[in-house]
Amino acid sequence: MKKLIFLTFCLMMAVASQATDIWSNNLRYSINNDGTSVTVVKRTDSKRSFGSDQRMNPAERALAEGSTESELPPLTGDLVLPESIISEGKTYSVTGIAKDAFWREEIVSVTIARSVTMIDEAAFMGCQKLTNVNLPDALTTIKPQTFSVTGLTSVSIPQGVTSIERGAFSDCNDLRSVTLSESVARIDVNAFGSCRNLKEIHIRTATPPVLGLNAFNRVDRTTCVVYVPKDSKAMYEKVIDWAEFKNILEE
């Protein structure tokens, strides 16, 4: 009897767990605790997680073998995340993107809904075909390794983001241009590390953002041009980390 009760309990828990997931347009969503919003989650049930594995560098993680379980075909082309989805007659606001949600998918561009306030770490890591992303203004932080090892060619950080965290855009070999909004106050460790082809950084704030260790590691500071607001060049040249860039121009 006890065994039967235990099995019944496990079945009920499994059903309850599945009930929190919604599939819409080939994307999987998890209902948040508030019952009115959802977060985009990884489409497979793979337990592999690469966002916080410190034993491997970003490039190694992106090349690591995936789960051996049967997986869905990868997402391709242009991805547009909606502001809301409807399930069983109920409308849910799309407010988040979970850790590893699009890990190694084959999307080329992504437009993220204005309703999204959180993108967790490594969400788009390893999307090597991803060349363009439109970020929502509601973001306040670019989490660790969010866009590491992607094919981005340029990126514009929206107003409202105050920090770009560890390795957020590391190992983006095709990244050539970065625009930082006026709100960016800190660029953390290795945030743009190994972006070897970065040619220009446009900064909208007169106050130099604080740079973490090796924030621009392996970026050629003799050829990469840093564009700063009018009358702020002298301020940047007084900060040791920024002064390493040999071409600081006002615009």
What are the tens digits of pLDDT across the range 186-206? 999 999 999 999 999 999 999
Indicate the average pLDDT of the chain. Answer: 87
Residues of the chain with pLDDT > 70, as a percent, come to 82
Check: CB of residue 39 under 8 Å from CB of residue 30.
Answer: yes
Residue 2 token pair: 């006890």
* Average pLDDT estimate for 117-142: 97
Residue-level pLDDT at 112: 97
Distance CA 203, CA 220 (A): 17
Residue 51: pLDDT above 50?
Answer: no
Sign of CA dihedral 178, 180, 181, 182: negative
Question: Which residues are CB-neighbours of 125 under 8 A, at least 6 positions away?
Answer: 50, 51, 58, 61, 62, 100, 103, 104, 145, 146, 147, 148, 149, 150
pLDDT tens-place string over residues 140-189: 999 999 999 999 999 999 999 999 999 999 999 999 999 999 999 999 99
Give long-range contacts, CB 8 A cutoff, 24+ apart: 77-80: 77/107, 77/108, 78/107, 78/108, 78/109, 78/110, 78/111, 79/107, 79/109, 79/110, 79/111, 80/110, 80/111
Helices (H) then strands (E): counts for the chain:
4, 18
pLDDT tens-place string over residues 106-116: 999 999 999 99
Residue 48: pLDDT above 80?
Answer: no
Residue 239 token pair: 């900060």
| Alpha-carbon torsion, ordered 170, 201, 109, 26, to 10 deg | 50
Question: Which residues are CB-neighbours of 45 under 8 A, at least 6 positions away?
Answer: 69
Check: CB of residue 146 under 8 Å from CB of residue 121.
Answer: yes
Q: pTM value?
A: 0.84
Check: CB of residue 80 under 8 Å from CB of residue 72.
Answer: no
Ordered domains of the chain (ranges, CATH): 40-46+55-64+73-250 (3.80.10.10)
pLDDT tens-place string over residues 60-100: 444 444 443 346 889 999 999 999 999 999 999 999 999 99
